[in-house]
């Protein structure tokens, strides 16, 4: 691994790291759906393809669902792309984008492959972070494949995946763009992560052990503890330190997470922080109504 990479992202010493470049991946034929970026829906020039995740084993990794697609639609909305282009002007340094809880990698791949449409510039460096090592591997494949199949003018890079917990492995000010679809479902407790490394290093599973392993990995993607906010609260605590001065975070919440209270909390942070709802499901998604918060310093 290039030793400049940990310095580039502020990776703390001793953190687990998985690197994969686009050149390492083999393209697979697929035809995923497209996202409408606004304007006339019959105008194909406004459509952005959703990255393929056909290679992902969904027994161990969260499958893209309505929450994932709400993030894609929000990031590609005309109001948001205009805001991001102003936030990261073409003459500024390449933005460093992180997805926390990257899962299949579909959201990070969407950003990497469509930087010109989303950010108004052809370059973004992308990093995935997840406590699930299978998700780290899936993200490496998904993002690298998406970049490989992107337009020739695209100059984005997949820096790699970090097998880690939220932003604890990063040094201050490393993050320009943060995207997170956290585990938001209210549950009595969070999943026990104590033996995840044992699961990752083994292949000799009986059927009961395999079911326990797969159930635990999937629970990590949805179980949010009290009010569905235990993981998100930790993320919010780390956010002011992790974001760069121009940094912005997009965080998905459900109605039970009390997004209005979260916005009030962020606005009370010292330093003049802002928080706004920039995306919403506008309907019940099963039992939860979803929203996307944008958090930044003006």
Query: In the structure, what pLDDT confidence band is assigned to residue 179 with cuts at 50, 70 and 90?
Result: very high
* Residue 126 clears pLDDT 90, i.e. is over it: yes
Q: What angle do CA 113, 114, 118 make, to 5 degrees?
A: 145
Instruction: Write down the pLDDT at residue 77.
Output: 96
Hunting for tokens 């995946």 — which residue is that?
161
Q: Is residue 25 a contact partner of residue 148, using CB atoms and an 8 Å limit?
A: yes
Instruction: Write down the pLDDT at residue 204.
Output: 58
* Residue 202 clears pLDDT 60, i.e. is over it: no
Q: Is residue 240 a contact partner of residue 248, using CB atoms and an 8 Å limit?
A: no
At residue 53, what are phi and psi to the nearest 5 degrees?
-125, 25
For 79-111, the pLDDT digits (tens) are 999 999 999 999 999 999 999 999 999 999 999
Per-residue pLDDT, averaged over 198-215, amounts to 60
Instruction: Write down the pLDDT at residue 168.
Output: 82
d(CA 151, CA 81): 18
The residue with greater pLDDT, 157 or 210, is 157
Q: Beta partners for 260?
A: none
Instruction: Write down the pLDDT at residue 41.
Output: 36
pLDDT over 90 for what percent of the chain? 57
Residue 50: its H or E element: none
- From 9-18, 26-35, 42-51, 272-281, the region with the lowest mean pLDDT: 26-35
The sheet with strand 288-296 has its strands ordered as: 16-18, 157-163, 125-130, 96-100, 175-180, 243-254, 288-296, 274-285
Instruction: Write down the pLDDT at residue 39.
Output: 39
Give the domains, in start order, of the chain with CATH numbers.
4-12+63-296 (3.40.50.150)
d(CA 101, CA 117): 24
Per-residue pLDDT, averaged over 242-255, amounts to 96
The per-residue pLDDT of the chain, averaged, comes to 82
DSSP three-state, residue 136: helix
Q: Is residue 134 a contact partner of residue 165, using CB atoms and an 8 Å limit?
A: no
Q: What angle do CA 185, 81, 31 make, to 5 degrees?
A: 70
* Residue 75 clears pLDDT 50, i.e. is over it: yes
């Amino acid at each position: 691994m290039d030793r400049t990479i940990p310095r580039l992202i502020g990776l703390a010493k001793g953190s687990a790291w998985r690197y994969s470049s686009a050149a390492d991946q083999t393209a697979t034929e697929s035809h995923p759906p497209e996202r409408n970026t606004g304007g006339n829906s019959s105008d194909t020039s406004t459509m952005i393809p959703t990255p393929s995740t056909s290679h992902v084993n969904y027994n161990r990794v969260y499958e893209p669902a309505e929450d994932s697609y709400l993030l894609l639609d929000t990031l590609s909305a005309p109001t948001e792309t205009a805001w991001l282009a102003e936030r990261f002007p073409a003459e500024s340094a390449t933005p460093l984008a992180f997805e926390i809880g990257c899962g299949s990698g579909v959201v990070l791949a969407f950003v990497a492959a469509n930087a010109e449409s989303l950010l108004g510039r052809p370059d973004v460096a992308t990093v995935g972070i997840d406590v699930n090592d299978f998700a780290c591997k899936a993200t490496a494949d998904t993002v690298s494949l998406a970049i490989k199949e992107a337009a020739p003018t695209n100059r984005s890079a997949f820096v790699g995946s970090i097998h880690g917990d939220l932003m604890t492995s990063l040094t201050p000010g490393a993050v320009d763009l943060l995207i997170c679809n956290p585990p938001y479902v209210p549950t009595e407790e969070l999943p026990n992560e104590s033996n995840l490394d044992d699961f990752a290093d083994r292949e000799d599973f009986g059927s009961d052990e395999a079911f326990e392993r797969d159930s635990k990995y999937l629970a990590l993607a949805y179980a949010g503890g009290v009010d569905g906010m235990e993981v998100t609260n930790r993320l919010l605590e780390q956010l002011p330190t992790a974001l760069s001065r121009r940094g912005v975070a997009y965080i998905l919440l459900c109605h039970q997470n009390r997004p209005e209270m979260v916005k009030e909390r962020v606005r009370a942070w010292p330093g003049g922080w802002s928080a706004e709802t920039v995306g919403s499901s506008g309907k019940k998604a099963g039992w939860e109504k979803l929203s996307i918060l944008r958090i930044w310093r003006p």
